[in-house]
């Protein structure tokens, strides 16, 4: 496995976990089998991220667009989610992980919402890694609700026109308590963002791998992180300036 510099890990790692369905279909299995296998990968990557000392891990688990999938698949995914939360909360406690959710929770079935609330409450005092699941999440929706709330507050006089800034906008997003991602991984070979964290990834380093999520193991994970560590983040500056700053 690649040797990683513990000083240069992404503070916030975001992952678009994609390719469960194809993983299963390539094996003549039902798509849900791929999702189940995908949950095992979630376990591996959560544990490894926490062990490495990554502070924030955000996983795209279900998009606002995913509601339009066949009902049977949606139902199976919700059941899987609920089972994951029921089972993993204990492990989050052992690993000092704080659990959070971003997305439109109003759309989630009541039992899933309850499992989410339980996990968030139980783990709220943990101060290790923050594990955030994006559930029923769509970035444009998130921006719309932020703009709407901001307009309400401007009309109510609690925010002025002059105060509107990048910081203010960020403070109205679901991610208000999380720094912007440093690194974004997408599995399964698709090179798109699919409505994930559009505002937040302005300067995020992107990484795409052909490997489907159920096959994304520790080794793959370490190569992705090693790739990140070899990059120079310039934020519009030139290399010399960046090096002087360090």
| Residues labelled as active-site residues | 18, 66
Task: Say which entry of Mg ion, ligand IPE, none residue 17 contacts (CB below 5 to 8 A, set by partner kind).
Answer: ligand IPE
Judge whether 67 and 97 are in contact, CB under 8 Å. no
Closest approach of Cβ 243 to ligand IPE, in Å? 36
Q: Which stretch binds Mg ion (CB under 5 A): 17-25, 32-40, 72-80, 221-229?
A: 17-25
Task: Say which entry of ligand IPE, Mg ion, none residue 153 contacts (CB below 5 to 8 A, set by partner kind).
Answer: none
Residues forming the site for ligand IPE (CB under 6 A): 16-22, 60-63, 66, 77, 188, 190, 192, 194
Asked if 18 interacts with Mg ion (CB under 5 A), we say: yes
Closest approach of Cβ 54 to Mg ion, in Å? 24
Report the residue number whose CB is nearest to Mg ion.
Answer: 18
User: In this complex, which beta carbon is closest to Mg ion, that of residue 42 or of residue 100?
Assistant: 42
Closest approach of Cβ 89 to Mg ion, in Å? 27
Closest approach of Cβ 109 to Mg ion, in Å? 21
Alpha-carbon dihedral angle through residues 111, 116, 119, 121, given to the nearest 10 degrees: -100
User: In this complex, which beta carbon is closest to ligand IPE, that of residue 159 or of residue 186?
Assistant: 186
Distances (CA, A) of 82 to 29, 75, 114, 176, 181: 22, 11, 9, 25, 26
Tell me the two tokens of residue 216.
Answer: 């994304």
Task: Say which entry of Mg ion, ligand IPE, none residue 20 contacts (CB below 5 to 8 A, set by partner kind).
Answer: ligand IPE
User: In this complex, which beta carbon is closest to ligand IPE, that of residue 15 or of residue 119?
Assistant: 15
User: In this complex, which beta carbon is closest to ligand IPE, that of residue 33 or of residue 154?
Assistant: 33
Asked if 142 interacts with Mg ion (CB under 5 A), we say: no
User: In this complex, which beta carbon is closest to ligand IPE, that of residue 16 or of residue 159?
Assistant: 16
Closest approach of Cβ 204 to ligand IPE, in Å? 16
Binding site for Mg ion (CB under 5 A): 18
């Amino acid at each position: 496995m690649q040797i990683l510099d513990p000083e240069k890990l992404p503070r916030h790692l975001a992952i678009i976990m994609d390719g469960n369905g194809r993983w299963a279909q390539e094996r003549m299995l039902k798509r849900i089998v791929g999702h189940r296998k995908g949950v095992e990968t979630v376990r591996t990557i959560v544990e490894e991220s926490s062990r490495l000392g990554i502070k924030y891990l955000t996983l795209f688990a279900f998009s606002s667009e995913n509601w339009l999938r066949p009902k049977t698949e949606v139902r199976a995914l919700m059941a899987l989610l609920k089972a994951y939360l029921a089972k993993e909360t204990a492990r989050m406690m052992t690993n000092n992980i704080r659990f959070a959710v971003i997305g439109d929770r109003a759309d989630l079935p009541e039992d899933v919402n309850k499992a989410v609330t339980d996990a968030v409450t139980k783990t709220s005092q943990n101060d290790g890694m923050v594990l955030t699941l994006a559930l029923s999440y769509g970035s444009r929706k998130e921006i719309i609700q932020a703009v709407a709330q901001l307009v309400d507050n401007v009309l109510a006089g609690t925010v002025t026109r002059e105060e509107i800034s990048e910081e203010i906008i960020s403070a109205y997003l679901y991610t208000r308590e999380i720094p912007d991602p440093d690194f974004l991984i997408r599995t399964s070979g698709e090179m798109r963002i699919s409505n994930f964290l559009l505002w937040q990834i302005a300067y995020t380093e992107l990484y795409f791998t052909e490997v489907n999520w159920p096959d994304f193991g520790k080794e793959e994970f370490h190569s992705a992180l090693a790739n990140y560590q070899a990059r120079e983040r310039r934020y519009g500056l030139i290399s010399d300036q960046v090096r002087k700053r360090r």
